[in-house]
Amino acid sequence: MNLRDVSTTLLLMSFRILHIVKWYPNPVDPQNGIFVKKHINATAEQPNVLGFINAQFETIEEGNLTLYGAQEMGISAKVAALYGALARVQPDAVHFHCYAQDLWVFSKILKSKGIPYIHSEHWSGLLPENNANLRGIKRKRIKAFFEGAGQVLPVSPALSQGILQVAPKSKITVVPNIIDEIDFSKPKEFSSKSFCVVGDVVFSIKRQEVILNAFRKLPSSKCELHFYGGGPDLEKLRVLTKHDINITVHGRVTNEMVLHTLPNHHAHVQFSAYETFGIATLEARKAGLWAISRASFGSSAYADEGVLWAGNEEELLKAMRRILKLEKPGINPFEGLSAAGIGLQIQKCYDAVL
């Protein structure tokens, strides 16, 4: 970074930004919205965060972070919490992360006070293949919210395309997810080549059961499979694998634990129906693993020779069989997706608005 960039960053850091989130790591789910937290932490040392999480837990107040377990929290209580945060932080702008219907109400309050807002988006519901499901008043409010933002920051060009279909006057700047540093300090040797799958266990989207079926066609003495993540289909996955001695379902774990564990595996598999980004594929490559992924994912432009494409189940099995014969491909550092680099991109968006 040159001196001009440093001085610009220091100037931008003087802005008071209030971040409002619906996804954020919490006591119920430590992986929830970890990508949101990384974006926020890249913008300031002590960011101001107000969260309304769709779960039940005691309110968390730690420094500049206030996190509500808002599963049964009404809109009037949320509005009161917003007014309290605005009075406390007195922000120059509000940065929303991931659309929720409450944000349309919040945006009206901000406009009445003359406070601009920026919006980062990760939600797959806005992808071109999914956004036709947004109809009526819901679609109209989303359009008004996105077009009213000073800047809209989707994580991929594919998501940008979907947003523009719904809100064509949105001011778009693509800001990718952050690929964190990988911890190589806890090496572990597996007796056979190990595949892993990191992600929420939601069969209809993440398709763990499809990966499982493909894996079972491999020679069991030569490989093992590890699933990391929780979700509505976790117990179904445990039932499906209870008799497989070479398959382990770890359940819900923290992002830190995932980044500790990744380098010990040989390959990662991400075979979702869709991904706005597909961060796990790039984390796997940064850890030096093979990665099986799909070209339709938002992060596909960052793929290197260590990524094998699988567009269907036959290609998935073919890629897994090929990997069994290969040594690890080496590490891709993804320097352009560092916290410092992405943080500077976001700060420049603040500068454009303020």
Claim to verify: residue 301 and residue 344 sit in the same structural domain: no
Assess if residue 160 is contained within a domain.
yes
Claim to verify: residue 315 and residue 281 sit in the same structural domain: yes
Domain enclosing residue 96, as ranges: 3-178+338-353
Rounded Cα distance, 73 and 88, in Å: 21
Claim to verify: residue 223 and residue 250 sit in the same structural domain: yes
Assess if residue 187 is contained within a domain.
no
Assess if residue 183 is contained within a domain.
no
Claim to verify: residue 152 and residue 219 sit in the same structural domain: no
Claim to verify: residue 172 and residue 92 sit in the same structural domain: yes
Claim to verify: residue 249 and residue 111 sit in the same structural domain: no
Claim to verify: residue 158 and residue 23 sit in the same structural domain: yes
* Cα atoms in the 13 Å half-sphere on the side-chain side of 170: 27
Assess if residue 304 is contained within a domain.
yes
pLDDT at 14: 73
Total of domains in the chain: 2
Q: Are 106 and 76 in contact (CB under 8 A)?
A: no
- Say if strands 65-69 and 60-62 run parallel, antiparallel, or are unpaired: antiparallel
Residue located via tokens 């420049």: 348
Rounded Cα distance, 227 and 257, in Å: 13
Residue located via tokens 């954020």: 24
Claim to verify: residue 7 and residue 143 sit in the same structural domain: yes
Claim to verify: residue 46 and residue 28 sit in the same structural domain: yes
Claim to verify: residue 168 and residue 35 sit in the same structural domain: yes
Assess if residue 22 is contained within a domain.
yes
Closest Cα to residue 194, out of 138, 241, 261?
Answer: 261
Rounded Cα distance, 253 and 257, in Å: 6
Claim to verify: residue 169 and residue 207 sit in the same structural domain: no
Q: Are 166 and 126 in contact (CB under 8 A)?
A: yes
Assess if residue 32 is contained within a domain.
yes
Claim to verify: residue 329 and residue 348 sit in the same structural domain: no
Assess if residue 188 is contained within a domain.
no
The one-digit pLDDT tens for each residue of the chain (354 residues) are: 443 444 444 444 579 999 999 999 999 998 899 999 999 999 999 999 999 999 999 999 999 999 999 999 999 999 999 999 999 999 999 999 999 999 999 999 999 999 999 999 999 999 999 999 999 999 999 999 999 999 999 999 999 999 999 999 999 999 999 998 887 776 676 678 999 999 999 999 999 999 999 999 999 888 999 999 999 999 999 999 999 999 999 999 999 999 999 999 999 999 999 999 999 999 999 999 999 999 999 999 999 999 999 999 999 999 999 999 999 999 999 999 999 999 999 999 999 999
Which CATH number covers residue 157? 3.40.50.2000
Closest Cα to residue 119, out of 137, 85, 103, 95?
Answer: 95
For residue 30, give both structure tokens.
């430590």
